[in-house]
Structure 1
Amino acid sequence: MLIPFLIMLREGIEAALIVGIVASYLKQSGRGALMPAVWVGVLLATALSLFAGAGLQLLAAEFPQKQQELFEGVVGLIAVVMLTSMVFWMRKAARSIKGELQASIDKALSKGADGQGWALIGMVFLAVAREGLESVFFLLAVFQQSSGWEAPVGALAGIAVSVAIGWGLYSGGVRLDLRRFFRFTGLFILLVAAGLLAGVLRKLHEGGVWNHLQTVVFDMSTTLPMDSPLGAVLSGLLGYQAAPVVGEVVVYLAFLAVSLFFFLRSAPAPAPRAAVAR
């Protein structure tokens, strides 16, 4: 439950920042009448994400067992790529995202009175759809590895809290150190991505694609089983497996070593505490 909550909280805050910056700039520049176009873009991006998630879920249900394992491995791999790229993109773009969005708005509104609304819808749609599709692939990968109500409830709770924080940032009632927030959540997401990547290798083995490095490194099934409270927490947070094989351990450690090296190598300069101007 914690992992979907934190991931959707971060994704939701990123999307809320984009919408908040656009709304603030339109209001400050005296073009608040164009706000309906912003909400149309948000709704279209949300609809696309929901349809994509439902379509992928239905597609997976049609596969035989081995093909389904392979499909889940591919979804997990896409989720790892998207999560990792999201972390490094936000780390790089956090300082300039406001200026870039305002420049994009000015470009969209230069289309003329007839095309302003459509251009603004398209800009907001593309920006929010990116966050939505990232969330879809991540949630599919998580839901495939966990059954029960905890993961969906955690994801919905993360979205709800991110909406509340986004509104607070826009209205000025919430002050959040976004640089520190994205840095800490970035480290957490890289740990999650490492666990997902090890799970991808496991799915590829179950699908008959990868059969190498299958020697069990250690077996803690009796000492710390995955269905125990602590085992479940470690599995969700760190990708813990009670009896991991060599390939999973190598992939997990190699991914963490490379990603953490580049993530921590040079910290970005401090950004303003409030990312959305009133």
Structure 2
Amino acid sequence: MSTVFFASYLIGLRDGLEAALVVTILLTVLARSQRRDGLAPLWSGVAAAIATAAALGALLTYVATSLLDGVRLELFEAVTSLVAVAMVTWMIFWMRRSARTIKAELTGKLTEALGMGPAAIAALAFVAVIREGVEMVLLVFSAAQAAAQSVAPLLGMLGGVLSAVLLGFLMYKAVARVNLGRLFTWTAVLLILVAAGIAKYAVHGFQTAGALPGAGAVAYDLSGTVEPTSWYGTLLAATVNLTPSATVLEAAAWLLYAAGVLLIFFRPAPLAAKRQAAAEQKAAA
């Protein structure tokens, strides 16, 4: 099971850490402003976001297991996989672009919310956390379908979230010093590979449903040499969805997404963008 839930653990850790970072910033602003009256609405917004994300996960699971089957189920899983890939791609680049200014932005928004009342504080916390929650649920749901597992991905996600909460608490108490830039960079790389596997699974779903051609065009077949139930076969299938065999379109989707997104992610930022980021960071300081 340890190999199967690795991808879900990574998803829970990454998204949970981003949410923990946001909550930590909001708590710090409240503490420095001596506005303890804002704690209750802040935590209520966080709790509402967690409940909403959990409800979405339960709804997706119910639809997939009770309402759909056959072609409709394949199409449903393929579409949700594409939505998950789109969300994780957007969030990775959003965090890369906003990492230097997120503290200043959240501080300004919370200052405004404090003047508007408890409902505004709760709404700010809800919006800040729900993005991570929805992304995490969609990714874990897609990873669970791709790995044909129901319990292991959930356990992995919960383990990742608990690790993120603990790390966020230690950072808030200044017990742990973490290089968040480096951590987010390498978890982003691993998430890109996971998302590439989910994109491959989406293509597989569309081909199985007959919405895409090429279901019989096999790019490679290593099933005679790679045992699917072996530890390495399970690890590759559960993390980046590299299965012993794949069609041409599946392999192309994996390679194009992984190579393209990694190339863009590590591409040096233009000089103008660097100057703008430096100016924003200086203004925030």
Alignment partner, residue 62 of structure 1 = 67
Alignment partner, residue 89 of structure 2 = 84
Alignment partner, residue 259 of structure 1 = 261
Q: Is the 8 A contact 1:219 1:242 kept in 2?
A: yes
Q: Distance in 2 between matches of 1:236 and 1:242?
A: 12
Structure 1: 5+ residue stretches without partners: 272-278
Structure 2: 5+ residue stretches without partners: 279-285
Alignment partner, residue 19 of structure 2 = 15
Alignment partner, residue 142 of structure 1 = 143
With 258-267 and 117-126 compared, the bigger mean Cα shift is at: 258-267
Alignment partner, residue 94 of structure 1 = 99
Q: Distance in 2 between matches of 1:188 and 1:177?
A: 17
Fraction of identical pairs, as percent: 33
1:115-158 residue CA offsets vs partner (Å, 9 max, x unmatched): x1000000000110111111111111011122253222211111
**Taking structure 2 as the reference length, what is the TM-score of the superposition?**
0.90
Alignment partner, residue 283 of structure 2 = none
Q: Is the 8 A contact 1:214 1:247 kept in 2?
A: no
Tell me if 1:33 matches 2:51: no
Change (3 A) 1:84 1:214: farther
Alignment partner, residue 126 of structure 2 = 125
Q: Is the 8 A contact 2:53 2:133 kept in 1?
A: yes
Q: Distance in 2 between matches of 1:182 and 1:117?
A: 32
Aligned residues: 267
**Taking structure 1 as the reference length, what is the TM-score of the superposition?**
0.92
With 226-235 and 99-108 compared, the bigger mean Cα shift is at: 226-235
SS in 2 for 1:217: strand
Residue 106 of structure 1 aligns with an amino acid whose one-letter code is T
Alignment partner, residue 250 of structure 2 = 248
Residue 227 of structure 2 aligns with an amino acid whose one-letter code is P
Alignment partner, residue 46 of structure 2 = 42
Q: Distance in 2 between matches of 1:219 and 1:33?
A: 62
Deviation at 1:29, TM superposition (A): 1.0
Q: Please show how residues 124-203 of structure 1 align to structure 2 within 5 Å.
A: 124-146=125-147, 147=149, 149-203=151-205
1:141-191 residue CA offsets vs partner (Å, 9 max, x unmatched): 011122253222211111111110010111111110000000001111111
**Aligned residues: CA RMSD:** 1.7
Alignment partner, residue 232 of structure 1 = 234
Alignment partner, residue 275 of structure 1 = none
